[in-house]
Amino acid sequence: MKIAVCVKEVPDTTAEKRIDAGTRRLVRDEGDRMLNEFDKYAIEEAIRLKEAGTADEVILVSLGPEKAVESLRQALAMGADRLVLVSDPAAAGSDYLGTARALAAVIEETGAELVLLGAEATDARSGVMAAALGEVSGRAWVTSANSVSVSGSTITVERQGDDGVDTVQAPLPAVVSVTKAINEPRYPSLKGIMGAKKKPQDVKSLAEAGIDAAGVGEQGARTKVVGVETPPPRSAGRVVKDEGDGAQQILDFLIEKKIV
């Protein structure tokens, strides 16, 4: 069985972010960039399934600029086998649906039966890609997995729900997003880092990947950013000095703000 892991290059989480006023998009060519932190848990889980003999290949799949290879190489150093990156100027401005279409096309070509993703990306925090990818590719999809096991053509997932942990079974092929509770990602070894440079890193245009340009980028987007505003500065908090009526002061404040 082959496992595809969707990965993404994101801006450094500690750096200041800037939105381009003209395109209303996040500026991605400034400052340091890195492998999305949440993706490491999906990569680790895929590698563990391979080490257990459940899978024979772990394939990284991504959509982004060509230089993203440098950031995504960390995933190869962890133990993934190869990378397929779709990079094309026409894909700029892709929304979640367009991104899902592009990833689905590449995954179909790889023949991967199981697709793993991190819970979300640090530059968007939407958490919808697993659902979008599942719907676009016609696969069963499960989110927020704390564990994943495979038996024949069935996966069993323990997922975090609002009221506790649910056990869900689904047929392969399937898409699963994982939480941080699933494992502890390994640090790449020096041998892994050196070996990553020699692993296949295939960069394809939309045409080479068999992706219809009309379904991605701005031309294929179903959502549109109509405005961007800088958050107002945080106001100073109110200090409550307890002189025997501290609890009442807090209650009055909550009532004033219509919280209670």
- The domains located in the chain, with CATH, are 2-220 (3.40.50.620)
Start-end of H helices in 56-202: 68-78, 96-110, 129-137, 190-196
What pLDDT does 39 receive? 97
Run of H or E residues at 140: strand 140-151
What pLDDT does 30 receive? 74
- What is the arithmetic mean of pLDDT over 209-228? 91
Residue 50 has pLDDT above 90, yes or no: yes
Per-residue burial over 94-129, b if 16 or more Cβ lie within 10 Å, else e, is bbbbbbbbbbbbbbeebebbbbbbbbbbbbeeebeb
What pLDDT does 224 receive? 86
What pLDDT does 6 receive? 98
What pLDDT does 32 receive? 87
Give this prediction's pTM.
0.87
More confident residue, 160 or 71: 71
Chain segment 32-48, per-residue pLDDT in tens = 889 999 999 999 999 99
